[in-house]
Amino acid sequence: MKLVEKNMTKHTFTHLDALESESIHIMREVAAECKNPALLFSGGKDSIVMLRLAEKAFRPAKFPFPLVHIDTEHNFPEVIATRDKLASDLGERLIVRSLEDSIKRGTIVIKDESKPRNPYQSVTLLETIEEFGFDACLGGARRDEEKARAKERIFSFRDEFGQWDPKNQRPELWDTYNTRVNAGENIRVFPISNWTETDIWEYIGRENLHIPNIYFAHEREVIRRGGNVIPVSELVQPKPGEKVEVATVRFRTVGDMTCTAPVESTASTVEEIIAETATTRITERGATRMDDQTSEASMELRKKEGYF
Amino acid sequence: MDTNTQLLRFVTAGSVDDGKSTLIGRLLHDSKSIFEDQFSAISKTSEKRGMASVDLSLLTDGLQAEREQGITIDVAYRYFATPKRKFIIGDTPGHEQYTRNMVTAASTANLAIILIDARKGVLTQTKRHSYLASLLNVPHVVLAVNKMDMVDYSQARFDEIVSEYKAFAAQLDLHDVHCIPLSALNGDMVVDRGENLDWYKGPALLEFLEEVEIDHDVNTSDFRFPVQWVCRPQTNEHHDFRGFAGRIEGGEISVGDEITILPSGRTTTVKEIVTYDGNLATAFAPQSVTLTLNDEIDISRGDMFVKTSAHPPKVEKEFEATLCWLAEAPLDKSRKYLVKHTTRSAKCLFSRLDYRVDVNTLEQHAVEKLNMNDIARVAINVQSPLVFDSYDIDRSTGSFIVIDEANNNTVAAGMIA
């Protein structure tokens, strides 16, 4: 192998280098100490960054865990295509479990097909954890996303019902992580806890990562409903009186199609997105997740129920 | 694209009364790190609570339970960036579980901001915060003398507080203390200099946070590499590859350097420094890398590589440490606990409790048992030897956590000396 000629003096250890090294260290800790971990992978930008970090942590070996996707079947087709392509390019094992499986089992009862499916995701996730006996799930959540996450540990414990107890978290000091769990419990581990939306974009640019094209500006049919811009899809059709228009938009997050709103933007490169993120005045989830706008505590409540 | 901005982590120490949340709110607001939806949420809440202006302190209230009770229950992490640096704030609440929370947030901090109310001067809590910052060996301290607007921006009052603080701080092992007068409420000397403190010629708070030199906050001289994970691909392409993955916790290493593997004491030389982006000639703390070696030696997780020529760490089964007890259940001297130190875990017994330190007065008291938030000098016996440094030499190889195997809780944090 050739030697890298980059002059790695102490002065060129940037914030991205520091965040990357911390994340690699966390992933290796999971690989070394947990018996049966998994990496939750959706095909969204944060989980794509997670895959690159896993390559950095474990190559030239294979990942010491499978990739797992809990599919709401409300996903954008571009995201699913990216998910499958990345897993196959990396030669890593991808396990997909769908909300449909839980619906068939009767553990999820859907009341309205056009409503977001995020609230049900935790049911299928917990069933998948049980099916494979995972004791640790690596996830790409970040603390800057939401108030409840700002207080969550990097190694975050779930009881046997998958519940998070914010008042009873283990202290987390230095880079010494307590990875121990009792039988039936498991850990969610968030290696990119300390990354911000801007860090993610800068890293995507630096590493030249392939992300679904719907993150970039494109023309799309949308309707305007209650202050939100909503993409028209087979799941979301205009109601009587609503007008379909074509707008130039991009997605800042790519979740459930029924509740993920694009933002109006002309940013078509990573550089333009970074510039836009630097000047934007609305938080990522605030702008794009209608399910988080319901109440000030909606994320906290969903986390307590076992959501991510 | 990959700008040369460094990462600085800091902890804020002080109570709501000192204006701590207002200060953080001011830093975020004036550096334009608050988003409109966050601002409109706290505006609504301020209005609901009958406040005349927007309460910036509400930005740091996280959980529903806290909002209902108007308290903060745990460490929260906040993020903001300027063109020069990216910042992580460890925000700790100021009530009774203070010690536990501040110790947690300070353990990873480059810098501690200790807030003082200019009207009140140096209080017991100021001493407590300063003691904890010195105990956790936080490399830089800013004494932020807040509420200068309430003392007519008086230079004499500021000088009086600074000299009182410096007299006290001389008893502590604080390395780098800077004192800044400011008003978080009005924004003087936080991000902008304002017009009221013209007599102060030093940097405003944010300017100081952007400029303080942090390259030497990690141990740059003694190479320390705890083996975290052994990389054995066992594929055709990498049939014989056997790499030792880990994070460099001190010093630097180059290809060809002679290393000693502890605790075994075997020596060899570094063959390659492997990273995903290509092999390196030299690597340094805190990089995560994979090392391959020129000799086949039995090595596993928990072993530590050091440079043969360097100042060696200790390899012992008994050591003394300062312990901060974090759990509600008190320490039980008759029980075995688990120590996790770097990448090695071992059963341990507390063989001696020497004394407890009163964090308010720094006085030492005889001690029979340790309760939550107690800080004590102890002696520890471990089942198998640990490879460690004194905490003041290396924060990574000099620190450990204690786990109660009965419930798997983290019950204590320790600093070896």
Distance between A249 CA and the closest CA of chain B, angstroms? 20
Does A177 fall in a domain?
Answer: yes
Interface of B with A in 159-188 (CB under 8 A): none
Does A180 lie in the same domain as A97?
A: yes
Contacts with A56 from chain B: Cβ below 8 Å:
275-277, 288
User: Would an 8 Å CB–CB cutoff place B75 in contact with chain A?
Assistant: yes
Mean pLDDT (chain A, rounded): 86
Are both B90 and B231 inside the same structural domain? no
Q: Quick one: closest CA in A to B60, which residue?
A: A147
The residues, any chain, with a CB within 8 Å of residue A152's CB and separated by 6 or more, are A141, A143, A164, A166, A169, A190, A193, A303
What share of chain B has pLDDT > 90, as a percent?
67
pLDDT of residue A56: 98
Question: Quick check: is B216 in a domain?
Answer: no
Q: What is the pLDDT of residue B54?
A: 66
User: Helix and strand tally (H, E) in chain B?
Assistant: 7, 22
What is the mean predicted confidence (pLDDT) over A90-111?
90
- For B351-406, the pLDDT digits (tens) are 999 999 998 888 999 998 899 989 999 999 999 999 999 999 999 999 999 999 99
Domain boundary among the residues B280, B307, B334 is at B307
CATH number of the domain encompassing residue A28: 3.40.50.620
Given a cut of 60, whether residue B219 has pLDDT beyond it is yes
In whole angstroms, how far apart are CA A227 and each of A251, A282, B22, B44? 16, 14, 31, 18
Give residue B236's pLDDT band: very low, low, confident or very high (50, 70, 90). confident
* Strands across the sheet containing A218-225: A228-231, A218-225, A245-250, A263-264
At residue B68, the pLDDT reads 58
Higher pLDDT, B46 or B224: B224
Q: Whole-number mean pLDDT of chain B?
A: 90
B272 and B358 co-located in one domain: no
Question: Which residues in chain B have Cβ-Cβ distances shorter than 8 Å to A164?
Answer: none
In this predicted model, what pLDDT tens digit does every residue of A150-189 receive, in sequence order?
A: 888 999 998 877 788 877 789 999 999 999 988 888 899 9
Determine contact, residues B400/B254, Cβ cutoff 8 Å: no
Q: Is B334 on the interface with A (CB under 8 A)?
A: no
Domain encompassing residue A239: 212-292
Do B195 and B228 lie in a common domain?
Answer: no
Nearest to A61 among B7, B231, B247 (CB): B231
B199 interface with A at CB cutoff 8 Å: no
Q: Which two tokens stand for residue B283?
A: 């690597």
pLDDT of res. B4: 73
Q: How many domains does chain A have?
A: 2
pLDDT in the model for residue A303 = 61
Residue B2 scores a pLDDT above 50 = no
* B355 reaches A (C-beta below 8 A): no
The reply to whether B169 and B65 lie within a common domain is yes
B195 in reach of chain A (CB within 8 A): no
- Report the complex ipTM: 0.93
Judgement on whether residues B159 and B17 belong to the same structural domain of the protein: yes
> Is the same domain home to B206 and B320?
no
What CATH number should be reported for the domain holding residue B207? 3.40.50.300
pLDDT tens digits for range B29-85 = 887 776 666 677 777 777 777 766 666 666 665 555 555 555 555 788 889 888 899
Q: What does the pLDDT look like over B275-295, one tens digit per residue?
A: 999 999 999 999 999 999 999
What is the pLDDT at residue B140?
A: 97
Q: Is residue A3 part of a domain?
A: no
Q: What are the backbone angles phi and psi of residue B393, rounded to the nearest 5°?
A: -90, -40
* pLDDT for residue B98 is more than 80: no
Give first-to-last CA distance, chain A, whole Å: 40
Residue B260 forms contact with A (CB below 8 Å): no
Q: Is the pLDDT of residue A235 over 50?
A: yes
Residue A7: pLDDT above 70? Answer: no
Same domain, A177 and A288: no
Chain B residues near residue A173 by CB distance under 8 angstroms:
103-104, 107-108, 399, 401, 410, 413
Q: What is the pLDDT of residue A295?
A: 47
pLDDT range class, residue A11, cuts 50, 70, 90: very low
First and final CA of chain B: distance in angstroms? 43
Same domain as B149, residue B30: yes
Judgement on whether residues B46 and B193 belong to the same structural domain of the protein = yes
Whole-Å CA distances, B63 to A166, B30, B75, B97, B202: 8, 24, 11, 17, 37
Q: Which domain holds residue B357?
A: 314-416
- A136 and A239 co-located in one domain: no
Q: How many residues does chain B have?
A: 417
Q: Does B31 touch chain A (CB under 8 A)?
A: no
User: Which phi and psi angles does A141 have, rounded to 5°?
Assistant: -75, 150
Omega of the bond leading into A240 within 30 degrees of 0 (cis): no
Q: In this structure, are A277 and A182 located in the same domain?
A: no
- Count structural domains, chain B: 3
- Predicted confidence at residue A294, as pLDDT, reads 47
B266, B286: one domain: yes
